[in-house]
Chain A
Amino acid sequence: MAVSVNEAVSAGPAPDQRPPGRRRRGRGRVAIEVAVLAVLAAVMLFPVLWMIETSIKENRDVYAIPAKFFDFTITLDHFKDVFVASGGGPSTLSGSFLNSVIVAGVSTVLATVLGVPAAWAYSRFSVKAKKDQLFFILSTRFMPPVVVVIPIFLMYRQVGLFDTKLGLILIYTAFNVPFTIWMMKGFVDEVPAEYEDAAMLDGYTRLQAFWKFTLPLLLPGIAATAVFALIFSWNEFVFAIFLTSSDAVRTAPPAIAGLIGGTTVDWGLVAAASIVFALPVLVFSYLVRKHLVAGVTLGAVRR
């Protein structure tokens, strides 16, 4: 059973059975608690709201001192600039978004294809030193990317994978496989092995039993896992900036970060690009909100 946001919503505290005097004091406390929560929520959300505001402000309002919160003219120019170059035609940023889609998409598919069968095998069969193997798998995901990128950089330079989409796809796949295995193992554990045993009594081979009976039951879990892998690859920055150099290959995170390189920074454009970049992530994470606890702990915590 995975703890989900929805479950957290449904369970309420025990009904209030305190004497009236206490209850009145309790009501004051509730008001304070609600106020504190509201303030905290406002603080947490303000940067996001400010980013949205900045993206639809005209440049002179973006740099206004004191900052303008409400009275500004709304413009969608920054969003146009994200996709369309000043001379017409697609912008460099839009190209990097396309690269991101390709790299994140392909690496997610590969990680799923490699990870799901492995997770199933780890869940179903007795494997020598299973705990150690699983620990080893997860620990590769914990390696500091800045450290891993040094030998990878040298390796890629040697074999001609530096500044190629294939290079990025490979490293992202390697970095998503441990997550996929851990996350999927949890889902496979939830499907009773007896289904496969029953199918095998009916004459199916183990492989057919997996393919015809277990896999369809795993599909929702596979979808959730793939969405997380997609988000991780989409957001990844360190490998992307060190293993690419040309605009033709560069994915969106380093391209957006590159917007602040010059002497003047077009913060409206940065904000708009950030929103275009973050929106799919927010939509996708809303879709997998039931599995967030497992997803953000790399599949390790599920109860």
Chain B
Amino acid sequence: MSDPVSLTDHPVREASSTPPAPGRSRHLSDRWLTVAFISPALLLLLAMSVFPLLWALYLSFTDYSATRGGPATFVWFENFTAILTSAQVHMRAFTTLLYVVGAVTLQTVLGFSIAYLISRRVRGRGVLTTLFLVPMMLSPVVVGLFWRFMLDAQFGVINSMLGSLGLGQVEWLTKQNTALISLIVVDTWQWTPFIMLIALAGLTAVPKYLYEAASIDRASEWFRFRTITLPLVWPLLLIAVLFRAIEAFRLFDLVYILTSGGPGVSTETLSFHVYKVAFLGFNTGTASAYGILMVLIVIVLAQLYMRYLNKLKED
């Protein structure tokens, strides 16, 4: 991350060649405006994002506890080594990986397929797109609550439908191996529209003459898809996938409402585990170290995201 402190008081770069007098005063006022317009926003971010993270960084080297209070004593890298060598954390990391990969893969495949099918329709596109987008705009709270009701083993509508089809009842949220699948399904339901929306933007941006040229050459549909559609949509799709991966990695609310990490710890992602360590165990120091490690992962992912974004803009 770039050092934000140097940003706010930077207008010291003196112009090497002195411009003529009127231009100079305008230049100065521009510089003044830049500082006046940018610094309030940056100051807020410094106070509300950077300062807390620096504080968390400090706490991560101590054994501070929010309930016990008292002065924090330095334990240096103890928290970090404890986390990185903990089998519990490894398991959470594996759960998170399963969840992120499972959900994002499903969303990408489904979202792209829907976008592809919609892009081939002429009539009803607008209505279809609008309808498909509804889940994405809902709050995770609403989504989580509602699926919890629908997946309820006793009077949930999903089991009721399975029953009328003559299939057995499934304990969606209360069995170890189905709970994570349910979580993935719900997340996929909510975020497939996201991939669909962006894929659709990419698909409609493919120039029509390319397809026309290909159909003159009597190229097969699969060939056209593989050589025209996919290469042109792929960069945009990749950005959508990375974005979703970051969001899925830091997801908390859906887990909290749908399963609370249970049954057992089968759906406890890293985000949820941090919460437990911080707010139920009150090991603030450990939780901070844990959080800092998560922030590092997010920064790496965000770097990747920005790199692809820049690439897309340059093309």
Contact = CB atoms under 8 A, between A and B. Distances in A.
Interface of A: 3, 5-9, 11-14, 17, 33-34, 36-37, 40-41, 44-45, 47-48, 50-51, 54, 62-67, 114-115, 117-118, 120-122, 125, 127-129, 131-133, 135-140, 142-148, 150-155, 170-171, 173-175, 177-178, 181, 200, 205-207, 231, 234-235, 237-238, 242, 253-254, 256-257, 259-260, 265, 267, 270-271, 274, 277-278, 281-282, 285-286, 289, 292-293, 296-297, 300-301, 303
Interface string B274-286: 1100110000100
B173 interface: no
Nearest to B279: A242
A154 B137 contact: no
Given A137-B42, A177-B45, 6 more contacts: A145-B250, A151-B59, A154-B284, A260-B145, A260-B257, A274-B145
B21 interface: no
B79 to A, nearest CB: 13
Contacts of B45: 137, 140, 174, 177-178
B194 to A, nearest CB: 6
B170 to A, nearest CB: 15
A270 B145 contact: yes
Interface of B: 1-2, 4, 7, 10, 13, 26, 29-31, 33-34, 36-38, 40-42, 44-45, 47-53, 55-56, 59, 66, 110, 114, 117-122, 125-126, 128-142, 144-150, 154-155, 157, 160-161, 163-164, 189, 192-194, 197-198, 200-201, 204-205, 208, 211-212, 215, 236, 239-240, 243, 246, 249-250, 252-253, 256-257, 271-272, 274-275, 278-279, 284, 287-288, 290-292, 294-295, 298-299, 301-302, 305-306, 309-310, 312
Nearest to A237: B253
A6 to B, nearest CB: 7
Contacts of A281: 137-139
A256 B294 CA distance: 29
Nearest to A236: B139
Instruction: Provide the main secondary structure of the chain A interface.
Output: helix
Contact of A44 (B131, B146, B155, B272): B131
Contacts of A65: 154-155, 160
Nearest to B288: A150
B41 A181 contact: yes
A271 B146 contact: yes
A-B complex: 5 closest residue pairs judged by Cβ atoms: A147-B291, A174-B48, A144-B250, A235-B139, A151-B52
Given A7-B204, A136-B2, A150-B56, A144 B145 contact: no
B193 A148 contact: no
A104 to B, nearest CB: 12
Contacts, number: 318
B193 A44 contact: yes
Contacts of B163: 66
Contact of A150 (B130, B146, B278, B298): B278
B248 to A, nearest CB: 11
B41 A118 contact: yes
Instruction: Provide the main secondary structure of the chain B interface.
Output: helix
Nearest to B301: A142
Contact of B139 (A40, A145, A153, A277): A277
Contacts of A132: 2
Contacts of B309: 300-301
A294 B223 CA distance: 31
B139 A234 contact: yes
Given A3-B201, A136-B1, A152 B52 contact: yes
A303 to B, nearest CB: 6
A45 B161 CA distance: 16
Given A114-B40, A281-B139, A296-B194, A143 B295 contact: yes
Nearest to B66: A154
Contact of A146 (B48, B200, B274): B274
B10 A237 contact: no
Contacts of A121: 33-34, 37-38
A41 B197 CA distance: 14
A54 B148 CA distance: 13
Given A143-B298, A234-B139, A292-B197, A51 B146 contact: yes
Contacts of B44: 114, 170, 173-174, 177
Nearest to B270: A144
Contacts of B1: 136, 139
10 contacts: A8-B129, A114-B40, A114-B44, A117-B37, A128-B7, A146-B278, A146-B291, A206-B26, A289-B133, A301-B312
B141 A253 contact: yes
